[in-house]
Structure 1
């Protein structure tokens, strides 16, 4: 599911993108925007219906398709990308700085050049801004990232206290750090978890405590990095999926817990698919939301919630 906000932002950026790259392949453009080629084709079909008042021939955006390539033949005044607001520019600076300091980034020079251009255009970020998940990331998370980064550089193991949201469980683990990831604006530690005997992703804002150990980090040779190109989370065999409709006051659920996309509804609510491993925990969460959530499926979960609410 692609949210309306995400699609609008993409539509506004498409014309300047194609003007700068005449004849670019659709699959290349789709990869750059992080969507499937089929979705990008739908976006281009919608652009054909957009343009200047009058909305007749010569007013609408026009595109030329040749094989799998696209060229803009009339831009309807959308030649330049939208200017960033101060908040948007600051958020971009935050993400780029985190990326520049993340081990394993292939072209840090390109990242630093982009940083320099944005800083020259809008000035340095506001005082007190810390590199991290948002423009004003809590300092505790920044400290966690620093400890993780130091362990990666020193090739040392870590002891972490971690909160697993889907099970409402806190555990202590010893891990061998592999890399830091920045995905969808959130920072993750990817590591070999000695407790689970496998590669795991740990959200930095859910690490309650982290300590660098005086022993080497030694992920086994078969420990492979997670492929996040198709999304960060993969359903586990013991996980169930609930289809929920969230009111505005319950939207935080989609930010805090793993969901498979967000579908924006006309009335301002959002439909999400949320995975969970513990039904009792899920029932408690839904009861705490009261009338701000509707359980559409599965029926057994909705019935459990109704029984507990009586």
Structure 2
């Protein structure tokens, strides 16, 4: 859709909203389209496309026929849109409800539904139903981005298109092509699952996203109808948890303290009971696990320090990840060419459809937020000042057909503060889209169980209000279910939270996996935040003399040390808290990401990105330490590799080759 079509659709919408009796097609052709050259047939096709576009935005284009005449006669048929068509109902929220709602929206920062959550919040602000909340001190939960497959599947679920993908079957260990009608997507046991109808098997199946071995392809020319009243959370609740099994793993003597914390010594026999010799300088451990792929991801990151002895399926899963990572690392490098300017984040190219949707949010937002600085308005909408000014210039040229100056949208920003004087009945935002309803309602559901939020009933009441406002789109939100964000150990979280409130210093004992050591530290706590149910404490570390992020499940002990906080360093304000605090001595690394790994650019806050032929991406990322990057590459098993600096790329290839060689040796010994 071109920019001229964007302007034409906006004028058509204003004309149809501001007519009581309706306008004939001939009147619209003359006054809105100013069409004098095309044939009646060609104009009719264009008009029908435009009506379909407005209906796609949710506006009900009514057809009014003169009495005694048929609706197929253009001369006697009129068109209009009711003023209440597709308008977001009034939503009045208490301060406590606003607090819960903003936390729910912020859950999706960096995740697939993040932009939809921001759009929904702007609509509530535009309707005047949302006040600036007072967020809980130091607590910011978030949902971990689940990669490109998540984004593609959410789009397919809401548009009801089938998908195809390659999948590693858990029952056979074989890679298979699947064609699935996606009904829902949700989190269970710390993993994301797709629930849908497998066409080849003619039955419902559950697919774990971490077992996808290819990109998701959406079959946009096909559609399907999901079961009525489908609720993915209910479906996943019936999914049985896998039984606990034990892996036999050989670990370098004295290494991998984190793994040892959950394992026990022994395991001199494999899972079949057959005894196997223990190599020198190695400790043999029995490691409990439920899912082989989850443990394989962890064990692959340990490289040559750990080798799976049994079971064979786990051994093969780790070896497969290492082999894929090694093969990708050894492939010829692409040219490294970043654009001189542009967004750092990997973003979808903006279209004129995006522009029209934004304009329909922009007018009511300005009505309820008069006098904001133009830079602040642009920041709220996530666009540049130039993009905003382009929007405003289209808006001020839009209005009633052949109207007087007072019949045009009147917006002024001469002094860099934006005021809207004439809104032409665009002063209320349109209803939530299914993505927007899904982002807010799924986020609210994920907050259940978070300490300090369930009390008072605000979580339940705001959910009911939003369900009523979202209508049918709210019912479709049941197709996506986020993870629970409550921490595993609420006592540690509460101790840290009390210290933040009271300005108390903490003494903690912490296991650092990169150094494979436990150290004692005095820290000044600043904020708590999460990715899913994994919680982090952002604090000033007096040992490191800088801001650090500590995973709560790696804290061995935590208690106040009796001193008040004393550092002068404060974290950057606002949301989100990042897992990484930039420093002057950071390692700047250029990565190549496959389409499966493209989400890592967002996860690690890439400073620059660029597309490569074939669908891969370049990403320039800062890392506080380069020591763990080989582990990072191995963990993602062929989805990411290091291109620069060259010495780090070489060292990573050598590390992967050494890890893979240990698995080859282990396989050979087992065959002997």
Give the TM-score, by structure 1 length: 0.62
Q: Does 1:91 align with 2:443?
A: yes
What is the aligned partner in structure 2 of residue 191 from structure 1?
539
- Name the SS of the counterpart of 2:488 in structure 1: helix
What is the CA-CA distance between 1:91 and the residue it aligns to? 1.9
Give the gaps of 5 or more residues in structure 1. 102-111, 124-133
Alignment deviations for residues 77-114 of structure 1 (CA, whole Å, 9 cap, x no partner):
6841652424423426867997987xxxxxxxxxx999
Return the match for 2:572 from 224, 227, 245: 227
What is the aligned partner in structure 2 of residue 109 from structure 1?
none
For the 8 Å contact 1:48–1:61, the answer to whether it is kept is: no
- Name the SS of the counterpart of 1:157 in structure 2: strand
What is the aligned partner in structure 1 of residue 6 from structure 2?
none
Alignment deviations for residues 179-234 of structure 1 (CA, whole Å, 9 cap, x no partner):
325599996534342432x3424254x642353436314322x4332224598444
Mapping of 1:1-310 within 5 angstroms? 1-4=344-347, 11=358, 13-30=361-378, 32=380, 39-45=383-389, 47=391, 58=399, 64-72=412-420, 79-80=428-429, 82-83=431-432, 84-91=436-443, 118-122=462-466, 135-137=483-485, 139-140=487-488, 142-153=490-501, 155=504, 157-163=506-512, 167=514, 171-182=518-529, 188-196=536-544, 198-204=545-551, 207-209=553-555, 211-213=557-559, 215-220=561-566, 222-228=567-573, 232=578, 233-251=580-598, 253-254=600-601, 258-261=604-607, 263=609, 265=611, 269-305=616-652
Q: Closer, same or farther in 2 for the Cα pair 1:261/1:275, shift >3 Å?
A: closer
RMSD: 4.9
C-alpha distance in 1 between matches for 2:430 and 2:625: 46
C-alpha distance in 2 between matches for 1:141 and 1:280: 29
Higher relative contact order, chain-length normalized (CA < 8 Å, sep 6+): 2
> Which of these two proteins has the greater Rg computed from alpha carbons?
2
Q: Closer, same or farther in 2 for the Cα pair 1:172/1:4, shift >3 Å?
A: same
Q: Closer, same or farther in 2 for the Cα pair 1:214/1:141, shift >3 Å?
A: closer
For the 8 Å contact 2:538–2:549, the answer to whether it is kept is: yes
Q: Closer, same or farther in 2 for the Cα pair 1:151/1:288, shift >3 Å?
A: closer
**Structure having the larger proportion of residues in strand:** 1
For the 8 Å contact 2:608–2:621, the answer to whether it is kept is: no
C-alpha distance in 1 between matches for 2:501 and 2:650: 51
- Name the SS of the counterpart of 1:88 in structure 2: helix
Give the TM-score, by structure 2 length: 0.33
For the 8 Å contact 1:148–1:177, the answer to whether it is kept is: no
Alignment deviations for residues 108-144 of structure 1 (CA, whole Å, 9 cap, x no partner):
xxxx999687345137xxxxxxxxxx75125326554
For the 8 Å contact 1:262–1:270, the answer to whether it is kept is: no
Q: Closer, same or farther in 2 for the Cα pair 1:135/1:289, shift >3 Å?
A: closer
Aligned residues: 276
What is the aligned partner in structure 1 of residue 207 from structure 2?
none
